[in-house]
Structure 1
Amino acid sequence: MSTHTSPGDKIVVKGASLLGEQATDLLLEDGVIREIGSVSEKGARVIEADGLVALPGLVDLHTHLREPGREDAETIRTGSAAAAVGGYTAVLAMANTSPVTDTAENAERVFDLGRAAGLVDVHPVGAVTRGLAGEELAELGLMATSRARVRVFSDDGKCVGDARVMRRALEYVKAFGGVISQHSQDSSLAGASACCHEGEVSGQLGLPGWPGIAEEVIVARDVMLARHTGSRVHVAHVSTAGSVEVIRWARAQGIDVTAEVTPHHLLLTTDLLTGYDPTYKVNPPLRPVEDVEALRAALADGTIDAVATDHAPHARHDKEHAFVDAAFGMLGLETALGVVNTVMRGNDLLDWAGVARVMSANPARIAGLADQGQALQVGAPANLTLIDPEAQVTVDRDASVSLSRNNPWHGRTLAGAVHATLLRGVPTVLEGKLV
């Protein structure tokens, strides 16, 4: 197939299984799905999809693209490439860049760089507070009305610890349907030097840890603030069973709260720290197996709405240190689907429709992306991902299209592989490779 496909070209995706159910053809033209069924191939370019599963293009609520400011770790172009290879058609880029995305001008810069890259839709997340300092609200309204049309705001990497500031932010974004995505972590309970989960392993290794309660008290506070303000709060990277219980209670009360979990918190556990490998240093930290099991159950039953990667690339000189001194974070965009397929589908916790719900439909809904996450039906935007469900992929960090190599999945075999990704009917990935 030609790599010079344009939005006006006709493409027939032949023999794909929609959400793992019936095999059919899809005719894509002018950026939308024109026909589903037995369609004519005349004048069309064909993508053979026999044995492949078709999902709506994946949407990531939580990505760090590092540009501007840390282009040595990632750029919007390389991060977009990693997203496309991972099956994504839209990502939300976190605000902790340099300069911080706390103004309309800075939000539009990220938005424009994403459009120039052209591999996925890049939507900037606006900072809640100026400079992520937690004191004064950023330009929330101006970012919302800018060309970037920001709807998600977060000081991710830092918690909005001041309850009064958090309340004001929730009140402000309610006016235009925005949402605050909170990095839930009480710094007074976590401690400045904490670097892993507080528990038996941290004690054995002599590493300063922070307890799960440091996350849970902020989750509890914020859901009560959301109830008080009638606004929306989103809990980023939930990592403890206690947080799950708070969220489950809040939803039962009708509080407008949503939540995400990362692929690494669905599979990796704190015992991996015994080798002091800084690859596994992440914030929030890897937790014990009982927390992992609670997160899986919560994702399966809908208490947790979405999977978000928290893709956090780092240059080698920031990550390759003693564990306590290394930067927090790990890669996730290229491997997220494989982890979810392995952990959730592999254990009969989700079917393909469930995977589409937590990796496409729900993230798009939370972020207010009307042209993403739609069901694969006639008239819908032609954003889709084709997956080989039978593939077994052994992850090689050196094969990543990301600039960074802090990949916790290196050497692991994951089930399922992205065969193709199409953004508004234009292939960005074919046969697992960037077009």
Structure 2
Amino acid sequence: MGNTKILSSRFGKIKPDSVEEFVAAGGYEGLKKAITMKPEEIIQEIKNAYLFGRGGAAYPTGVKWEQAYAIPLEKGPKYMICNADEGEPGTFKDRHIMAEDPLMLIEGMTIGAFIFGAKEGYIYCRGEYSGIQKILKSAIKNATEAGYLGENIMGTGLNFNIKVVSGAGAYVCGENTALVESIEGKTGRPRRKPPYIKNAGLNMMPTVLNNVETYACIPWIVKEGGETFLSVGTEFSGGTKLMCLSGNVVQRGVYEVPFGTTLRELIYGLGGGIAGGKTLKFVHLGGSSGACFPEELLDTKICYNDLRKNGLSLGSGAVLVVDDTHCVVDYLKTVMEFFEDESCGKCTPCREGNRRMVEILEKLTSGRGAKEDLERLQRLARTMRNTSFCGLGQSAPVPVTTLLKHFAAEFEAHVQGRCPSGKCSMSGVRR
């Protein structure tokens, strides 16, 4: 594993909202270089970097920005929005960027504003991050006073202001159109697409929306060059990734690793292995809507291409480690209860599908399940994946299908009224 630190190099070394300390530690070098370049040149560097969106969707950032740049300004103002809602369970990387180096995020958004001619930016920050919101506002104020935000930034004629918006406390607001609806003061529910937000986003005007970590990579890419960023990772995934390691592991925390690091190296190297000397049962990758898999896949590299080949997705970068004392079915029930609670209710497949899945899993964990229930779970998963309105309902069944695939025997045991781990009471078993 390499030691290149792109995102965390200043963590704990500077006062988070101090422009003076940020600049002394290399901050705003990316913006200073960007204003000497043509917008097309900056976008090309981002394309060269193979920077994929770090929020979960993994869409190529350079391609997204190229498409947004092609939309003429005559269509109206272009907005820069940062998704800092971070509602995915097991994910806590963005809070570190905002709490320890928020000006890096602000610099990335400002480079975007220079490219697109945007005058307004919004950081949609998780409502529970009240302390971090104060840090962001202070950093924005200080950057404005220092001439890096506000009117006529660095004498370029660029006018750009950023406002912090407190999140609505809903998981679905992590979906970009629901987030835009929430900023507009509406209920956070996803819109029909198309039109996409690059054409009709905030106030139905062209909008560029990226995750905190994605924006934070931009200054380094501009300063050092896209090919340098790419060389840090793999040929398919440029740079580094902030990984959130939690669960039954010795050293929980956020780790910045170069793409190409294996999941085994992350868990057993940086993470110190399984806590309490126990054995790994499975890993839940990418948040609650990600895949669950056993140890056999741990040597997969953290690389969008390698993960895809193994039927996995990096998602938000959450890695939840589960040891062999836990029950697969009981764990899955907890996950699906989360989705049942967080579904916005707009579409039937997600609203009812999650509810039915929880009911089936409750039957299985109480000893009242039947063989047909496993088939119903699979059928519900297919229906939700194919017919749900947005990504929440489409991805919620992923832990269901992957755990059924890798732990079929444990589900069968519950049908027979037996919990191999002894976690389920099986009080409903007929005797």
TM-score, scaled to structure 1: 0.24
Q: Per residue, is there more strand in 1 or in 2?
A: 1
RCO higher in 1 or 2 (8 Å CA, sep ≥ 6)?
1
Going by fraction, where is helix more abundant, 1 or 2? 2
Q: Radius of gyration: which is bigger?
A: 2
